[in-house]
Amino acid sequence: MNLEWDEDNIEHIGEHDVDPEEVSEVLQGQTMRKLKPIPQFKSEKEEADFWASHDTTEYVDWNTAEVIAPGTFLPSPHCSIDGSLLLSRYVDLEVAHGTVVVRNLRQLYCRHGHPRETRLAPEAEERVRIFEALALAMEPEAKPRKKAKRAPARVAVAERPAT
């Protein structure tokens, strides 16, 4: 996708509560060098051990990663049904009525297959929000349509074998 910012679409983006700078950052992240896939962790300990022995810059693009104040720990998401730690996988998702495919979105899911626990991770939600606003801005003539529900059938899952 090629982006050109003119006053019109910047103004339009503004209506969607998205900062143009934020958009270009996300777009850069999208086209950045390929990062190694983050393995699926079976436990928080396994995850901690992994990060203690690997260089995070090979896995995480810190230019687009969100910075959290030191001492702030996000609670690990757990399944509300069986209490197990939710796992992460990466999916490509069509957004904005199929006009944009956003790649490598982190999706949380329950290892026991409880479908209602399947959801995008917060930072992935944020990227989707930006791309949807962006797509709308790219077609300013389009009439506002009812927001389509994201159907699970359109999700291409690139699942890796558990390590």
Binding interface with Zn ion (CB under 5 A): 79, 81-82, 110, 112, 114
Of the two residues 36 and 112, which places its CB atom closer to Zn ion in the complex? 112
Minimum distance of Zn ion from residue 116's CB (angstroms): 9
* Both tokens assigned to 28: 């850069």
Minimum distance of Zn ion from residue 9's CB (angstroms): 42
Half-sphere exposure of 101 (CA within 13 A, CB side): 9
Distance, CA of 109 to CA of 116 (rounded, Å): 9
Using DSSP, state whether 32 is helix, strand or coil. coil
Burial class (CB in 10 A: 0-12, 13-18, 19+), 137: buried
Q: In angstroms, what is the C-alpha Rg of the chain?
A: 17
Minimum distance of Zn ion from residue 114's CB (angstroms): 4
Of the two residues 82 and 125, which places its CB atom closer to Zn ion in the complex? 82
Of the two residues 117 and 132, which places its CB atom closer to Zn ion in the complex? 117
Minimum distance of Zn ion from residue 89's CB (angstroms): 15
Distance, CA of 146 to CA of 160 (rounded, Å): 34
Minimum distance of Zn ion from residue 84's CB (angstroms): 6
Of the two residues 79 and 120, which places its CB atom closer to Zn ion in the complex? 79
Distance, CA of 65 to CA of 122 (rounded, Å): 12
Which position has the token pair 């949807």? 132
Of the two residues 85 and 101, which places its CB atom closer to Zn ion in the complex? 85
